[in-house]
Structure 1
């Protein structure tokens, strides 16, 4: 069992040849699922039995998602909620709708939706990482980092928010992303566009993610045109035409998948990306100032430019980077094993020229820029860490693979010295 990802794939899929998950892998993932369920079910039951925790679980933002889910449960898919709540997206309420229809506001039933979403995330992540690294050990350690993450436990078992669905879609998107960078197969890019569309249907900042993902990949593909793959005998013009046609197809897929969000906004506001007061947070200095609750934004970049200096502009960026890349993960994780492993993974990816992870790091950096800019107006960890976490998990697996490789080499060197007769 190798722990090192090779630079040249041995199959036409870009993934090392593998006989598929073994029986031991299935047993291991089943054990991980049991650990995940035992932890989160116990937290969910505790939450449901505590009146204050239940009230918090179903209040504020969560109440709005439940109200939208009630519309869907009645068979009303006109998206009329957009008229009063244009900052909400429909995917998470759609997931809640079956539970609302049959069990109403029962916290166990509603929380079970999050449990199932998190379970799907765990399974996708485990098998995806196992295929990337050909290692049950790396996949299991990465999965345990997800299971034990206090932020995700809170959002799965104590809240009714979009973080679980957002993380699930991002995990799928990242797996497709890595596959596309390795292979260049158009089908992967179309899948990325579909996943990015679902992410936008889950959370508004998914729009940044879609733009960053497709934009970074497009630039990467233009750069790669100068260095065609060994088995690609097409002319440069043919390769260029293929790239542009593929991205046109991806843009079409993105547009189709996101119809439930942009069409009602265009119908009611004549603006397909209208999100109410959310844009206020780009141009104010506090949450209270931006959170007007209105269906129209009240501030623009002109308001910010009039009342801020160039120094204010750079100070905001500096504070945002500190918060998003250090302070928020520090408080969200408590024990920062995941954080340091992910940093190690990024360093190793660039040092070892693991290009798929290098391009992924660029994608993360760009899509976090709007979140960095607005971190002083949305100081809580939800938005920033909810997006950062899935990427952290994948970068951490690179770090874990590197550490295990070093340990294996050390063990091979030490073994002959300890047991000379075995030679």
Structure 2
């Protein structure tokens, strides 16, 4: 099918301005300046954007879809519906399911499920160790051959330095980065929020920032020693950013991510003890949040992710200290970027690149994350001038545990295309 998109305000790494696009069989075949588009074009469907924004499909490389094993929290289908509604066309899926994604057969299972629904593409992230127990390496080479895009034990940090060293050595055989959740659990196990002024004020046991940065320092040294690529998940402390900054200057293969939640909310927001704000790593203080904003502007932070972690209502409707960590985020990521751009004076183009172009550099993804001729037609039509209210009906994820609940957010996705196929329409909800 040939689709003609006209009068688009294109916002991507390679293309910025008013353009017309011709999509042919899932590929961006041709990009024209609006005034240069020939009248002789032949197409099956024409969509006039009338100056609305066109961006590459978002690539969210830290997502929990819960299936298999925890379908009461989220299913692959419900998670992918939330993704396309939010303009997310590619999801890196973490392995903390039941069973854990620690072998090539479960990697194939995820990829087949992705193809079954015809929604966002799943990029499986395999476990570093069997059952994510940190004792014995999982068959990383076999998983890489079947489509694993990276390796991580997710919420279980690889605590054994010898195991982490061996995992990083496999990078040279798989060309897949090792993603580590940086946490020293001996320091964090008694806490529920970031240690500081507000943990004292609210009477909640705190987690010291060094619980993260000590592990970051170790992983950087191991990456330097092995000349391997380590990716630091959801950075949340200034100390970690300083370590990463120095390591990059020294040529160490280290990259990092931050969640949109840590860019917007702080430890002060826990004032009403809402468990929708309880997350690991915990929300930082305002000074740290400002550091994250500046690190984005300086390109020290490589990508933005959701760490989408849906939970059932009854799991979160308990005392703060007893609630599971996690925030549902696929529905709100794109709107949060618009909110950040408006409130923090960050170029929207830069923010879009952090969820499109730069993930492709870190995870070696081809023909994605940009609007270029010959690239996959993974595209999102965004109305920047419209707002939507976050509520139980507008959040498509089964997990309603979001601190944005009840808020009006800027930016409404009107259409989502994956390889030229319209998979979401605001009018039709899900086509």
After TM superposition, the score normalised by the length of structure 1 is 0.27
Give the helix-richer structure, 1 or 2.
Answer: 1
After TM superposition, the score normalised by the length of structure 2 is 0.27
Give the strand-richer structure, 1 or 2.
Answer: 2
Please tell me whether Structure 1 or Structure 2 has the larger radius of gyration of its CA atoms: 1
